[in-house]
Amino acid sequence: MKHYSNKVKKIVYGGDYNPEQWPEEIWPEDMRLLKGAGVDIVTLNVFSWAAIQPSEDEYDFSKLDKIMEMVRKNGLYVCLATSTGAHPAWMAKRHPDVLRTDFEGRKHKFGFRHNSCPNSPAYHKYSVRIAKKLAERYKDYDNIVAWHISNEYGGECYCENCEKAFRLWLKEKYGTLEALNRAWNTSFWGHTFYDWDEIVLPNALSEHFEYNRTVFQGITLDYRRFNSDSILNCYRMEYDAVKEITPEIPVTTNLMGFYPQLDYQKWGKYMDVISWDNYPTCDATPAQIAMTHDIMRGVGGGKPFLLMEQTPGVSNWHSFCALKRPGVMRLWSYQAVAHGADSVMFFQMRRSIGACEKYHSAVIDHVGNDKTRVYREVAALGRELEKLGEATLGAVTEAKAAIYFDWDNWWALNCTAGPSADLDYLGEVRNYYQALYELNIPIDFVGAEDELDHYQIVIAPLLYMTKPGYDEKIRRFVASGGTFVTTYFSGIVDEHDLVITGGYPGRLRDILGIWAEEIDALPPDRENAFTYRGQVYPARLLCDLIHPEGAESLGGYHKDFYAQMPAVTVNTFGKGRAYYVATRSNEAFYRAFLGDICKECGVEPLHDSVEGLEITVRENELGRYLFFLNHNENAVRTILKDDMMDILTNERYKSGAELEINSRDVKIMKYIR
């Protein structure tokens, strides 16, 4: 079967294990408890750089050797980290260039983690060196199933090395200062640059008055791209170092969902398999978690991914660390699998006794035995995954509907300076996602470079930035029969955040058949309303004042001087249709609107909707599976439409039979063909 590793034949189960933080006498007990819980993979060496490299030219692998041996003897797989997520203290002292300078311009001292400057020559040198040494030393361990480069890359740096690197990055991108001055519109506020060295990083000391409030969006956008690229470069250097020695071992680094600082769509191209860490806040809805899994699958081009971390019970770093209720860990583990995960992994195996994660739960708690609720739940899931075997491995989700998401667009919207401080890209994406989710329509996330041909519906909420050629992609998609949906404040700027003149929505105008003449921002306490198919819905946040130019109005605003102007339009373009929603509305609207569109396009729900019952699909050569995840505190029932088998219990059901799913329970139903 085609999946990330030909070594594994089931959903691997385990996670971060830090035996180096414990006396060796305890290790055999760890092995006993972990195996008792069905753990078959451990992520090792995540924060051991200081332990392995005590000084400039001294390396000591003796402890890691022992750990690797023990783990192999116990038949466990390894996800081997390169340890470069936190540099050693001696390195910060000897090579201060590894330390970051923050947004306020403060040079940091040693401390914390994820604190290395991505353009530090010393960091480059030593991180690549240790990655290489690890690969050379452990290359013959055939239980290593993945390389885990660094850990949760992120943040930013504004030091002098980064500033110099920024200038080189710009030179490479623009070639000439004329081109750069044009792209940044530097004739505004007398910013013309005559020498590359005049360019400084945009932060609190230069162009910004808040993190997301800048007077030159073009400069800030380029810095965001540059910073993401710089950190990606660190990852790629280590990637190359391990790949050279162990070309057959897949390489990953753990991503963080909708993480604002890194353009994961760019990163995904350099990862053999996507992996990510799922730590929803306690108020996160199941749809929000589902959406994050889907963006992670999307940045990997739709391939299955690894759930690298989640807490088995409680996290320590939220303001209020609520326990995962009984059954929730299992439910969320399967939710990850339902959206494409081929692993279920935790942070962490044994709960630490000191520093900030001592109240973060683990498979083995401070009490140190197998008598805890968390351990029992982990062990029960371990047995189930054993039973599930390879059934779902490598299975993909075929979606007919896609949502466009783009990091550059996110950055641009975050710092646009108008028309509303409450513009919320992620929130708007969530509105559309949630409606489809509740309709049981599988959703893919696509980025600017992904193909659209195999979708019937593409939704691009707040497509503020149209990148070069993207309008053409949409034009082709719609002309050949696709349905395209976009919203207010779309088509406004190009990739430099320069307004596309000639009327909004710019290059999308012919596809949508409208001209948006003005944009009215409504403060939080004011709203308008509009009618759509006989129903009245609220209009919030922004109202575009649009004139149809071929499009048909599906309903107009109720109030104000633009009463009767269209709030929702549809335009026939070639064989397809393009919708424009000129304002922000409520859940009821998105559900009705997208329900109509899906019907019109013949995009069928996977199953009837039942509140709180999430339904997804995955398919591989072994079968097609529907996942039923009951997020409710009560049992729910639904009628099956096909002959199916519950692959966790082997129970068979006839088409028309009732399926009962208990509170927080999961059914993985295989179609019987």
DSSP 443-476: EEEE-TTS--TT-SEEEETT--B--TTHHHHHHH
Tell me whether residue 151 or residue 416 sits nearer to ligand GLA (CB atom): 151
Q: What residues form DSSP beta bridges with 646?
A: 651, 669
CB of 138 to ligand GLA, least distance (A): 21
Q: Which of 78, 99, 117, 403 binds Zn ion (CB under 5 A)?
A: 117
306 lies in the binding site for Zn ion (CB under 5 A):
no
- Cis-peptide into 505, omega within 30 deg: yes
SS3 labels along 601-665: HCCCCCCCCCCCEEEEEEEECCEEEEEEEECCCCCEEEECCCCEEECCCCEEECCCCEEEECCCC
Residue 406's binding partner among ligand GLA, Zn ion, none (Cβ under 5 to 8 angstroms by kind) is none
String of contacts with Zn ion for each residue 118-157, x by CB under 5 A: -x-------------------------------------x
Closer to ligand GLA by Cβ: residue 254 or 440: 254
Residue 117 interacting entry, from ligand GLA, Zn ion, none, C-beta within 5 to 8 Å by type: Zn ion
Give the residue among 555, 563, 562 at the shortest CA–CA distance from 579: 555
As annotated, the active-site residues are 152, 309
Q: Is 159 in the site for Zn ion (CB under 5 A)?
A: yes
Structure tokens at 514: 């409208």
Candidates 180-188, 311-319, 400-408, 638-646: pick the segment binding ligand GLA (CB under 6 A). Answer: 311-319
Which range binds ligand GLA by CB under 6 A, 174-182, 225-233, 309-317, 489-497?
Answer: 309-317
- Sheet containing 275-277: order of strands: 251-252, 144-148, 77-81, 41-44, 12-16, 341-347, 305-309, 275-277, 254-255
Residue 159 interaction partner, one of Zn ion, ligand GLA, none, beta carbon < 5-8 Å per kind: Zn ion
Q: How far is the CB of 243 from ligand GLA (least distance, A)?
A: 22
Among 8, 162, 296, 565, binds Zn ion (CB under 5 A): 162
Residue 195: exposed, middle, or buried by beta-carbon count in 10 A (0-12, 13-18, 19+)? exposed
Q: Which residues contact 276 (CB under 8 A, 6 or more apart)?
A: 254, 255, 256, 257, 292, 296, 305, 306, 307, 308
Cα separation values, 618 from 304, 393, 419, 531, 647, Å? 10, 10, 41, 38, 13
Q: Could you tell me which residues come within 8 angstroms of residue 195 by beta carbon, excluding any fewer than 6 positions away? A: 177
> Under rule CB under 6 A, which residues in 335-354 are in contact with ligand GLA?
347
- Residue 540 CA to residue 528 CA, distance in Å, equals 7
Please count the residues of the chain.
Answer: 673
d(CA 670, CA 619): 9
Minimum CB distance to Zn ion smaller for 105 or for 389:
105
Give me the residue label for tokens 């307004």: 499
Residues 315 to 334 in contact with ligand GLA, rule: CB under 6 A: 315, 317
Contact characters 253-292, ligand GLA, x per CB under 6 A: -x----------------------x-x-------------
Q: Decide which of Zn ion, ligand GLA, none touches 309; Cβ closer than 5 to 8 Å per partner kind.
A: ligand GLA
Residue 153 touches ligand GLA, criterion: CB under 6 A? no
Q: How many CA atoms lie within 13 A of 181 on its CB side?
A: 14
In this structure, what token pair is assigned to residue 106? 């403060």
- When the beta carbons of 150 and 230 are compared against ligand GLA, the nearer one is 150
- Min dist CB 357 to ligand GLA, Å, is 6
Give the range of 291-299, 307-315, 372-380, 536-544 binding ligand GLA by CB under 6 A.
Answer: 307-315
**Is 152 an interacting residue with respect to ligand GLA (CB under 6 A)?**
yes
Beta strands in 128-265 (DSSP E): 144-148, 208-210, 213-214, 251-252, 254-255
Cβ proximity to Zn ion, 119 vs 466, nearer residue: 119
Task: Measure the CA–CA gap between 519 and 401, rounded to whole angstroms.
Answer: 29
Residue choice 151, 372, 440, 630 for contact with ligand GLA (CB under 6 A) = 151
CA distances to 6, 103, 223, 292, 521 from 307, rounded to whole Å, are: 18, 31, 30, 12, 40
Closest approach of ligand GLA to the CB of residue 254, in Å: 6
3-state SS record for 253-300: CEECCCCCCCCHHHHHHHCCCCEEECCCCCCCCHHHHHHHHHHHHHHC
In the complex with ligand GLA, which residue's Cβ is closer, 201 or 364? 364
* Residue 43: contacted member of ligand GLA, Zn ion, none (CB under 5 to 8 Å, by partner type): none
Please report whether residue 154 would count as binding ligand GLA according to CB under 6 A: no
Phi-psi region of 31 (alpha: psi -120 to 50; beta: other; left: phi over 0): alpha
Query: Exactly one of 360, 540, 664, 667 binds ligand GLA (CB under 6 A); which one?
Result: 360
Closest CA to 412 of 358, 448, 452, 375: 448
Q: Which is nearer to Zn ion, 155 or 304 (CB)?
A: 155
Given the rule CB under 5 A, which of 109-117, 198-206, 508-516, 642-650 is the region that contacts Zn ion? 109-117
Q: Which does 162 bind (CB under 5 to 8 A by kind): ligand GLA, Zn ion, none?
A: Zn ion
Binding partner of residue 435 among Zn ion, ligand GLA, none, CB under 5 to 8 Å per kind? none
Q: Per 3-state DSSP, what percentage of the chain is helix, strand, and coil (rounded to 5)?
A: 30, 25, 45
Decide whether 311 or 490 has the Cβ nearer to ligand GLA. 311
Report the residue number whose CB is nearest to ligand GLA: 277
**Minimum CB distance to ligand GLA, residue 344 (Å):** 15
Amino acid at 335: Q
Query: Per-residue contact track with ligand GLA, 42 to 81, x per CB under 6 A?
Result: ----------------------------------------
Q: How far is the CB of 95 from Zn ion (least distance, A)?
A: 12
Residues 218-257 interacting with ligand GLA (rule: CB under 6 A): 254
Q: How far apart are alpha carbons 296 and 536 in whole angstroms?
A: 36
For the record, the structure tokens of 456 come out as 């019937």
How many residues interact with ligand GLA (rule CB under 6 A)? 12
Burial-class residue 196 by CB neighbours within 10 Å (0-12, 13-18, 19+): middle
CB of 345 to ligand GLA, least distance (A): 11
CB of 104 to ligand GLA, least distance (A): 25
**Cβ–Cβ under 8 Å, residues 467 and 316:** no
Strands 251-252 and 144-148: parallel
Near Zn ion by CB under 5 A, which window of 115-123, 352-360, 507-515, 552-560?
115-123
Kindly list the residues in this chain that would bind ligand GLA in the complex (CB under 6 A). 151-152, 254, 277, 279, 309, 311, 315, 317, 347, 357, 360
Kindly list the residues in this chain that would bind Zn ion in the complex (CB under 5 A). 117, 119, 157, 159, 161-162
